[in-house]
Structure 1
Amino acid sequence: MPDPEETAGQARGKPEPETDAERRRRRAQFLRELNEAKALRERVQPRRARAARMRQAMRMRTFRW
């Protein structure tokens, strides 16, 4: 949920430069949520998830460096 002060600053048209620490924190949160969503999808649809893993493994085996 966005901070009310951030949204007020953005509404005025003053985008404040985000620090590296803030960007890394947002990225880490995004990656955690993404991994959680993938794990949930694997539990809910195990056959489809297994097929997706097999396709990914095949792509990795046939990839040329």
Structure 2
Amino acid sequence: MAWTTPRLDPDRSRRRLQLLAQLADARAIRERERPQRARTQRLRELIATRRRLAG
């Protein structure tokens, strides 16, 4: 006996694919922004350290 999956209605399937695509886009955007945030934070820490050492 072969195992089969129940068919989803076309609307539900389309909405599911759309949601998955949106989640993938959001994840990609977040991954692109993270390095910039980390770089900005490192620069802020470096500036603060230099100010402490100079002052």
For 1:16 and 1:42, the matched residues in 2 are separated by: 38
2:42 matches 1:45? no
Cross-structure match for 2:12? 22
Matched, 1:31 2:21: yes
Instruction: Name the structure with the higher helix share.
Output: 2
TM-score by length of 1: 0.44
Deviation of 1:19 (Å): 1.2
Aligned equivalents of 1:14, 1:42: Cα separation in 2: 39
- Gaps in structure 1 of 5+ consecutive residues: 1-12, 47-65
> TM-score, normalised on structure 2?
0.51
Matched residue count: 34
Q: CA RMSD in A?
A: 1.6
The alignment-based identity, stated in percent, is: 9
Please list every run of at least 4 consecutive aligned residues from structure 1 whose deviation after the TM superposition is greater than 6 angstroms. Answer: none
C-alpha distance in 2, partners of 1:14/1:40? 37
**Displacement of 1:39:** 0.6
- Rg larger for: 2
3-state DSSP class of the match of 2:8? coil
